[in-house]
């Protein structure tokens, strides 16, 4: 009786436990939990299975579980293989597509466990299925996104984009990195990124410092020189970003490099062009100012030199005043030489280019050079016996060589040697000295002085740049030499090293046609009285000092002179005095320029002869047949110019 009661109680307890288990399984809605017979027939069904498979228990109990598989999987025997695996191995787990009642597919995680009876026999299978469609969709989106990102990064060719591990080892490599740096992925992945740096940067620890800054501050950005596989360098813009996980642990670095060589060079070229423009504008302004000052100074020198010359001629030869006048003339001539330099810089002084014998010119000024530079300097000349003539202005070239010799003297305070040499050379099209192709004559002045450093050499020909100190130089000497060479179709080339002396080369075009000099009178030769007929002359200048001097010089030559301070006044005289032969007029005058006066005078009297006096060389709209004489001019030069007008 007691045993029967115990069996009843045991069955009730088992039934109660089974009931609780069923309640637990039915309460699970996120998992499909159900039983299969050994043949795969569904024998139980919970709420979770009903929720995402769509079948109610009455619809699916007694059916084979293979209906949850796709047609493809059923045809391939996947359901049977799953049960066999569970029976043989004690468990089956897989993920795959499953089919709902309405035919829709979902991604499922499936676990099948065999159920073994007390005697080891297979009773059936416990099957747990979870709907992972959303997770798979998210994973697929992530995978697709990662693939798109990978393709994007790989497709970028203008930027080198790659990853580094925390130690700086290259972890991946895109097409842009291969194009810019030259390494294929197989050659560089696994190597340290410091190989992209120059040896100097590696020695200074630049690669490690860049990673340290990125790790500390989160980002590193810089421009610098980097090295390609073939050893060539380029200018790179580099960004390194630190990559950390959610916990803040450093995973590595993302590195983006762009070749900005062309951009930087373009910016540099733009800056150079901008600086050149500013310098050009500055030089233009200085040139205009210099030209104006030199023009006014020329007028003053015209009056001073002319008056001194006339005074000296009218004094007795044994007068004690003569040395003082000669001294004043020398001082004024030095002022004229300075004015000439200023006008050459301003491109206002006329150059009379003609075939010039360099050997004869240098030998002719050797005594002047020795007197100018003093006894502590030795002057040596080295010229070939046969040297083509140069197409240049001999007077300006003399001044240029004197300037170079004086600069050389100042560079040798303890004495030394100046060597003046010459040679000819044919320059080809591919010449690297920026000289046009053709035949040249080069005269070189070399000293054994202190030389110049690179910074000084770069500025040496700048106008008003001088290293001689206040009051010891105008800074126009080398710019004048430069102007002479440029206007002669050549170039001034300076070569110098600090402590090793300086070499100045004046390259001049070879004269194409040699013409004989006209035997013009040179100052210092005995005065020859004017042998030409006396003429009626109108002297025109808006500066009273210059006008008085010009009138006096013309009268000294024996001409009958009328004076006018403007163009209209000169025209009134011309209309009144119909016997006028010549008008000697300044060019730069208010109200009416010399050129305008010449046109108006020719309209009044077509055979009137015009002599233009000017401190400038470039006179726009110059009338045909108008002669030109530069200020300041001497009595002899004026005599020749007026006589040439009469002969013409």
| Burial class for 267, CB neighbours closer than 10 Å (0-12, 13-18, 19+) | exposed
- Per-residue pLDDT, 278: 67
Give the tokens for residue 513. Answer: 């046609």
Give the tokens for residue 480. Answer: 């004048």
| Whole-number Å distance between alpha carbons of 188 and 44 | 60
| Whole-number Å distance between alpha carbons of 494 and 487 | 17
Of the pLDDT bands very low, low, confident and very high (cuts 50, 70, 90), residue 2 is low
- Per-residue pLDDT, 490: 85
Question: Do the first three CATH levels of 156-259 and 536-647 match, i.e. the same topology?
Answer: no
- Which CATH architecture does the domain made up of 20-137 adopt? 2-Layer Sandwich (3.30)
Q: Is the pTM of this model over 0.75?
A: no
Class of domain 536-647: alpha beta
Which span out of 82-86, 370-374, 465-469, 528-532 was modeled with the highest average pLDDT? 82-86
**Structural domain boundaries of the chain?**
20-137, 156-259, 350-509, 536-647
- Per-residue pLDDT, 85: 93
Q: Which of 402, 489, 395 is nearest to 440 (CA)?
A: 489
Check whether 513 has a pLDDT greater than 60: no
Dihedral over Cα of 172, 175, 177, 178: its sign: positive
| Whole-number Å distance between alpha carbons of 178 and 172 | 11
- Per-residue pLDDT, 512: 73
- Per-residue pLDDT, 286: 57
Check whether 580 has a pLDDT greater than 80: yes
What is the CATH code of the structural domain delimited by 350-509? Answer: 3.30.565.10
Contacts of 56-62 with CB under 8 Å at 24 or more apart are 59/101
For residue 73, give every residue at least 6 positions away whose Cβ sits within 8 Å of its Cβ, in sequence order, or none.
79, 96, 97
Alpha-helical regions (H) of 28-108:
47-53, 57-60, 71-75, 78-89
| Whole-number Å distance between alpha carbons of 106 and 88 | 28
Of the pLDDT bands very low, low, confident and very high (cuts 50, 70, 90), residue 463 is low
- The secondary structure of 609-629 as a DSSP string is EEEEEES-S--TTPPTT-EEE
Give the chain's mean pLDDT. Answer: 80
Mean pLDDT of the region 38-42? 93
Q: Are 441 and 405 in contact (CB under 8 A)?
A: no
pLDDT tens figures, 61-86: 999 999 999 999 999 999 999 999 99
Mean pLDDT of the region 290-309? 71
Which span out of 394-408, 532-546, 621-635 was modeled with the highest average pLDDT? 532-546
Q: What are phi and psi of 60, to 5 degrees?
A: -115, -25
How many C-beta neighbours within 10 Å does residue 360 have?
A: 13
Strands 582-586 and 219-227, bridge-based pairing: unpaired
Check whether 573 has a pLDDT greater than 90: yes
Q: Which of 365, 404, 357, 384 is nearest to 504 (CA)?
A: 404
Tokens 């569904």 correspond to 42
Q: Of residues 87 and 289, which shows the higher confidence score?
A: 87
pLDDT tens figures, 188-228: 999 999 999 999 999 999 999 999 999 999 999 999 999 99
| Whole-number Å distance between alpha carbons of 171 and 161 | 11
Q: Are 52 and 131 in contact (CB under 8 A)?
A: yes
Class of domain 156-259: alpha beta
């Amino acid at each position: 009786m007691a045993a029967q009661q115990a069996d009843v109680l045991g069955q009730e307890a088992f039934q109660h436990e089974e009931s609780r288990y069923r309640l637990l399984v039915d309460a699970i809605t996120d998992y499909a939990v159900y039983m299969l017979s050994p043949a795969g027939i569904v024998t139980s069904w919970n709420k979770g299975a009903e929720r995402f498979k769509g079948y109610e228990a009455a619809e699916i109990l007694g059916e084979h579980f293979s209906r949850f598989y796709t047609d493809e999987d059923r045809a391939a025997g996947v359901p049977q293989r799953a049960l066999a695996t569970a029976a043989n191995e004690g468990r089956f787990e897989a993920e795959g597509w499953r089919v709902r009642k309405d035919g829709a597919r979902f991604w499922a995680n499936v676990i099948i466990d065999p159920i073994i009876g007390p005697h080891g026999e297979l009773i059936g299978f416990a099957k747990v299925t979870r709907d992972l469609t959303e997770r798979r969709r998210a994973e697929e989106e992530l995978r697709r996104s990662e693939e798109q990102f990978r393709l994007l990064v790989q497709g970028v060719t203008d930027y080198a984009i790659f990853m580094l591990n925390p130690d700086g080892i290259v972890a991946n490599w895109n097409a842009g990195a291969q194009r810019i740096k030259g390494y294929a992925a197989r050659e560089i992945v696994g190597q340290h990124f410091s190989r992209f740096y120059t040896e100097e940067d590696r020695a200074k620890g630049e690669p490690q410092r860049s990673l340290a800054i990125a790790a500390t501050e989160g980002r590193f950005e810089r421009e610098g020189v980097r090295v390609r596989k073939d050893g060539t360098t380029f200018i790179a813009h580099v960004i390194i970003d630190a990559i950390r996980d959610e916990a803040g642990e450093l995973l590595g670095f993302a590195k983006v490099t762009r070749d900005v060589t062309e951009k930087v060079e373009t910016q540099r070229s733009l800056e150079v062009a901008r600086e050149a423009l500013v310098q050009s504008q500055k030089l233009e302004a200085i040139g205009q100012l210099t030209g104006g000052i030199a023009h006014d100074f020329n007028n003053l020198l015209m009056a001073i030199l002319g008056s001194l010359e006339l005074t000296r001629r009218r004094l007795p030869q044994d007068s004690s005043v003569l040395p003082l006048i000669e001294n004043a003339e020398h001082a004024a001539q030095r002022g004229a030489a300075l004015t000439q330099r200023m006008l050459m810089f301003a491109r206002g002084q006329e150059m009379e280019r003609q075939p010039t014998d360099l050997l004869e010119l240098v030998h002719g000024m050797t005594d002047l050079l020795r007197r100018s530079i003093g006894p502590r300097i030795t002057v040596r000349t080295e010229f070939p016996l046969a040297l083509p003539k140069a197409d240049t202005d001999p007077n300006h070239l003399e001044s240029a060589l004197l300037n170079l010799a004086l600069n050389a003297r100042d560079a040798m305070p303890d004495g030394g040697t100046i060597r003046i040499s010459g040679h000819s050379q044919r320059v080809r099209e591919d010449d690297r000295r920026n000289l046009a192709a053709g035949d040249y004559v080069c005269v070189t002045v070399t000293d054994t002085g202190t030389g110049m450093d690179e910074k000084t050499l770069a500025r040496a020909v700048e106008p008003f740049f001088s290293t001689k100190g206040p009051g010891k130089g105008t800074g126009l000497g080398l710019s004048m030499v430069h102007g002479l060479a440029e206007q002669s179709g050549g170039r001034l080339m300076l070569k110098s090293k600090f402590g090793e002396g300086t070499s100045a080369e004046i390259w001049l075009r070879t004269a194409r046609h040699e013409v004989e000099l006209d035997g013009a009178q040179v100052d210092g030769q005995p005065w020859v009285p004017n042998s030409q007929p006396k003429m009626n002359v109108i002297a025109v200048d808006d500066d009273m000092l210059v006008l008085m001097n010009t009138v006096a010089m013309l009268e000294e030559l024996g001409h009958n002179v009328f004076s006018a301070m403007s163009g209209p006044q000169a025209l009134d005289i011309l209309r009144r005095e119909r016997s006028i032969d010549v008008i000697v007029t300044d060019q730069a005058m208010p109200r009416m320029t010399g050129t305008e006066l010449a046109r108006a005078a020719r309209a009044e009297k077509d055979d009137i002869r015009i002599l233009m006096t000017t401190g400038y060389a470039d006179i726009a709209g110059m009338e045909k047949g108008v002669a030109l004489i530069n200020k300041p001019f001497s009595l002899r030069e004026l005599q020749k110019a007026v006589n040439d007008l009469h002969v013409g």
